[in-house]
Amino acid sequence: MSLTPQLLVVKDLSTTFDTPAGPLAAVGGVSFDLNQNETMGIVGESGSGKTVLARTVMGLQPRSKVTVSGSVLLNGFEVVGASDVEKQKIWGLQVAMIFQDPMTSLNPVMRIGRQIDEILRVRLGMDRHAAKARAIELLELVGIPSPAERYHVFPGQLSGGMRQRVVIATALAGSPQLLLADEPTTGLDVTIQAQILNLLDEIKERMKMSVILVTHDLGVVATRTSRLIVMYAGRIVEMGSTRDVFVNHRMPYTRALLDGSPKVSNPSHTRLLAIPGRPPNLLKLPPGCSFAPRCSFATDRCHKERPELQPANTPGHTFACWNPLPTNRGASA
Ligand SMILES: Nc1ncnc2c1ncn2[C@@H]1O[C@H](COP(=O)(O)OP(=O)(O)OP(=O)(O)O)[C@@H](O)[C@H]1O
Ligand code: SF4
Ligand SMILES: [Mg+2]
């Protein structure tokens, strides 16, 4: 047995939706792993498959109208192909997810404390009294002032930032080892965003969790992740340490994403700038590199053959490109 087992091992994972217009390849051939207590970022344009990937890792895709292949091993549990009954053993307890829209995660007509202690009672088998005490502790942990009083309020009585703290408390109720945070600060103002992200960092350290942070905000991933996955058209096109991806990226799409963004040493909250051209139609992916129609480095080969991920100079850094950018450009960055 390895001394530092990987918490998550994803291999050749694909998620294809059966749509009236034909099969839509939302995630294709994705492989990566995640260590314990690590924060990994996933970045990419809108529609690149970040949410579908996170939901597939969690095992949340419905069985009908979707085909999932490959493997997601979470602490030795195979998520792909598991029944909902089997997945109940890991949902909330080993893996939890914070969704893009916090309002959909909370029941608007149920008091917030009850929403947390219901999880504790149903999933952890706590009695009513213990669950209430733990729910108040969790509200305190996520920085809700006067948690015993706030236990009784409804989600609509809280600000957006406070609601997102409640969502985090709900996700943490079962002490999961992996937290999937999908754009956890969407719709919040910049100061509140920073508070929520700092809170996630603190809790990750305190609970020794691993976190996958899906975001458009390059400032967020620059400072809060150790490794980064860059997605385009449902595939990983570059992956490596956050520093390598920021300063030694080889893939022109990664450069396009990062253009105008800050250096790792001086990050700020910069959102992705729009890249000229449109992402490909996932119902009809081109045979070669999906980025070719938008890439100023594209050659004939790019339009005909798809580049697979290949190793860069640094261990763990991979990229998919026939005409990669030169190395060591960022040695002094
Ligand atoms: N249930 C579904 N049925 C059909 N297609 C879907 C479904 N869910 C997602 N898709 C498609 O899969 C692709 C990837 O979507 P996804 O939501 O993962 O993108 P994303 O990278 O999270 O984008 P954003 O940054 O806007 O959140 C998109 O083309 C989307 O339209
Ligand atoms: S493979 Fe070709 S089209 Fe794709 S990113 Fe590299 S140079 Fe551009
Ligand atoms: Mg998304």
Atom of ligand 2 nearest to the CA of 324: 6
Q: Measure CA 258 to chain center.
A: 18
Domain count, the chain: 1
Could you tell me if residue 206 is inside a domain?
yes
Domain membership of residue 144 (yes or no) is no
- DSSP alpha helices (H): ranges in 112-269? 112-124, 128-141, 147-150, 160-172, 190-207, 218-224, 242-247, 252-258
Global pTM reads 0.93
DSSP labels for 126-166?
--HHHHHHHHHHHHHHTT-SSHHHHTTS-GGGS-HHHHHHH
Q: What is the predicted pLDDT for the residue at 216?
A: 80
Mean residue pLDDT of the chain comes to 90
Residues around ligand 3, an ion, CB closer than 5 A = 50-51
CA–CA–CA angle 2, 79, 163 (5° rounding): 100
Distance 295 CA to ligand 2 centre (A): 6
Distance 311 CA to ligand 3 centre (A): 28
Name the closest-CA residue to atom 12, ligand 1: 26
Query: Cα of 320 to ligand 2 centre, how many Å?
Result: 8
Instruction: Please give the single-letter amino acid code of residue 320.
Output: A
Tell me the average pLDDT across 173-185. 94
Mutation choice for ligand 1 from 17, 61, 182, 232, CB with most ligand atoms inside 8 A: 17
132 in any annotated domain: no
First to last CA, the chain: 39
Question: Residue range 191-204: average pLDDT?
Answer: 92
pLDDT greater than 50 at residue 268: no
Answer whether 175 contacts ligand 1 (Cβ < 6 A): no
Q: Decide if 99 is inside a domain.
A: no
pLDDT band at 266 (very low <50, low <70, confident <90, very high): very low
The H or E element spanning position 14 is: strand 6-19
Domain containing 65 — which CATH number? 3.40.50.300
The answer, yes or no, to whether residue 319 has pLDDT greater than 80, is yes
* The pLDDT value given to residue 219: 81
Q: Does 239 have pLDDT greater than 50?
A: yes
pLDDT, average across residues 19-33: 96
Assigned domain for 32 exists: yes
Which ligand has the minimum distance to the alpha carbon of residue 45? 1
Taking CA 198 as the corner, what is the angle to CA 197 and CA 201, rounded to the nearest 5 degrees? 90
pLDDT in tens, 320-329: 999 999 986 6
Give the pLDDT band of residue 269 (cuts 50, 70, 90): very low
Residue 65: domain span: 6-94+176-319
pLDDT at position 298 over 80: yes
Q: Is residue 62 part of a domain?
A: yes
* Atom of ligand 2 at shortest range from CA of 290: 4
Expressed in angstroms and rounded, the spacing between residue 21 Cα and the centre of ligand 1 is: 15
Contact present, 195 and 161 (Cβ < 8 Å) = yes
Model pLDDT, residue 66: 96
* Segment 71-87, tens digit of pLDDT: 999 999 999 999 999 99
Six token digits for residue 333: 């960055």
Which ligand has the minimum distance to the alpha carbon of residue 297?
2
User: CA–CA separation, 255 vs 274, rounded Å?
Assistant: 12
Q: Is residue 138 part of a domain?
A: no
- CB of 27 closer than 6 angstroms to any ligand 1 atom: no
Sign of CA dihedral 239, 240, 242, 248: negative
Please tell me the distance between residue 49's alpha carbon and the centre of ligand 1 in angstroms. Answer: 6
CB atoms within 10 A of CB 328: 9
Mutate to test the pocket of ligand 2, among 295, 296, 301, 306 (most ligand atoms within 8 A of CB): 295
Q: Which ligand is nearest to the CA of 325?
A: 2
Phi, psi (5° rounding) for residue 17? -90, 140
In a domain, 107, yes or no: no
Residue 297 half-sphere exposure, CB side, CA atoms within 13 Å? 15
> Is residue 265's pLDDT more than 50?
no
Lowest mean pLDDT among 34-38, 54-58, 325-329: 325-329
* C-alpha atoms less than 13 angstroms from C-alpha of 216 in its C-beta half-sphere: 13
